[in-house]
Structure 1
Amino acid sequence: MPILQENPYDSLSFAIEDLKKKGYNKDFNQKEEYLECKQNGKNYNPSDFTITHTYRFEGMSSAGDNSVLYGIEAADGTKGLLVDAYGVYADSLSEDMIEKFRVEYEDPDEV
């Protein structure tokens, strides 16, 4: 289960830019049972990838502007990003996909 990391970025665009410099240069799309990467034509089941980075961004003007950025590394070495608005797609994902993307929150007072 991924852990929500302390966010060192001022904006989603800065985070994406930095992670792309670190090799996370593919775009992933969530599907019901898997992640899709159109750039390489591959699909990845939950057991085929690891979430390496998780950052939450909260919109200044509206709760609808909230999103989570995931840095993902597949077993075949493919590295990419997935941007997800809070809970928008949760109803259309399989239980395995929901569990894979469930974020564990660290209590800063207990760290």
Structure 2
Amino acid sequence: MEHPMEMNTLSEILEKLRLKGLDKEIKMTDHGKMQSDLKIYSPEDLTIIKTYRFEGDSDPADNSVLYLLEDKDGQIGYIMDAYGMYSSQENTGFDDFLKKIPTADRDLQELFS
């Protein structure tokens, strides 16, 4: 009998990323680009390798999404956002930028083992 995959919380996944040294957050700048530390990215510089969606236990409107990304140098980082009507992104270009990033949904078991 197959057992369902254990669901993780957002904080558990962020902690696993931190322990692996992959806790580089990428954020939207005021100039419509994504930035992490000193790197500035265009959509073609990044690939979304995994997407996690979370819903709050007590409030279904408490939604968030975590995008794991890999840049052209093989560095892994993440973008975190609330979604739906509570989106935490004030920059109107965020959604357009995100839609332009190619997606390659990969099995990341080796990251979290």
Q: TM-score of the superposition, structure 1-length normalised? A: 0.68
Contact 2:32-2:91 within 8 A present in 1 as well:
no
The worse-fitting range, judged by mean Cα deviation, of 20-29 and 52-61 is: 20-29
Q: TM-score of the superposition, structure 2-length normalised? A: 0.67
Counterpart code for 1:14: E
Contact 2:65-2:81 within 8 A present in 1 as well:
yes
What CA distance in whole angstroms lies between the structure 1 residues aligned with 2:6 and 2:93? 29
Flag the 1:102–1:44 CA change in 2: closer, same or farther, 3 A: closer
Deviation at 1:49, TM superposition (A): 0.5
> Is residue 43 from structure 1 mapped to residue 40 from structure 2 by the alignment?
yes
**1:1-111 counterparts in 2 under 5 A?**
8-31=6-29, 33-37=32-36, 39=37, 41-87=38-84, 88=87, 89=89, 92-93=92-93, 96-100=96-100
Q: Which of the pair has more CA radius of gyration?
A: 2
- Aligned pair count reads 96
List runs of 5+ in structure 1 lacking aligned partners: 1-6, 104-111
Flag the 1:51–1:60 CA change in 2: closer, same or farther, 3 A: same
Deviation at 1:59, TM superposition (A): 0.6
Q: Percent identity?
A: 38
Flag the 1:18–1:53 CA change in 2: closer, same or farther, 3 A: same
Per the alignment, residue 3 of structure 1 pairs with: none
Contact 1:24-1:72 within 8 A present in 2 as well:
no
When the two chains are superposed, the root-mean-square deviation of aligned CA atoms in Å is 3.0
